[in-house]
Amino acid sequence: MKTRFIIPAMLVIGMATAPLMANSTNASSVITEMKVSQESEKVKVDPADLPALVKEAIEKDAALKALKISEAWKVSGEDAASHFVIKFDNEGQELVKKYTALGEVIED
């Protein structure tokens, strides 16, 4: 007689907690994504304050030498070395290049 009550009760409890267990994995992935976005720091830099090696790399590139720098950002993160994201104004179109602190171009 006890098994007639226990087995259906276990079935009902299992069905009631199944959606909670399924949503717990989605919540952990959202938390992981939030951590990733908080690890990198982006700081706006004046183009005149860029490292000398980055300035030299831009001067050596004939296509970029004539373009004006519209924005420059220093991006640093815990797991990667800091780099510079530089936006150039190319006749109304935006051209974005990434450089290391040593003036090397980072390819995406």
Model confidence over 10-47: pLDDT tens digits? Answer: 878 877 777 766 655 555 555 555 555 555 688 999 98
Q: How far, in Å, CA of 61 to CA of 57, rounded?
A: 6
Please report, for the domain that includes residue 65, its CATH number. 3.10.450.360
Q: Are residues 69 and 44 in the same domain?
A: yes
The single-letter code of the amino acid at 81 is A
The total number of structural domains in the chain stands at 2
Q: Are residues 90 and 48 in the same domain?
A: yes
CB atoms < 10 A from the CB of 57, how many? 20
Q: Are residues 32 and 50 in the same domain?
A: no
Which strands sit side by side in the sheet containing 105-106, from one edge to the other?
A: 41-44, 68-76, 83-90, 93-100, 105-106
Could you list the residue range(s) of the whole structural domain that residue 77 is in?
A: 40-106
For 44-73, the pLDDT digits (tens) are 999 899 999 999 999 998 888 889 999 999
At 79 the pLDDT is 67
At 44 the pLDDT is 92
Bigger pLDDT: 26 or 9? Answer: 9
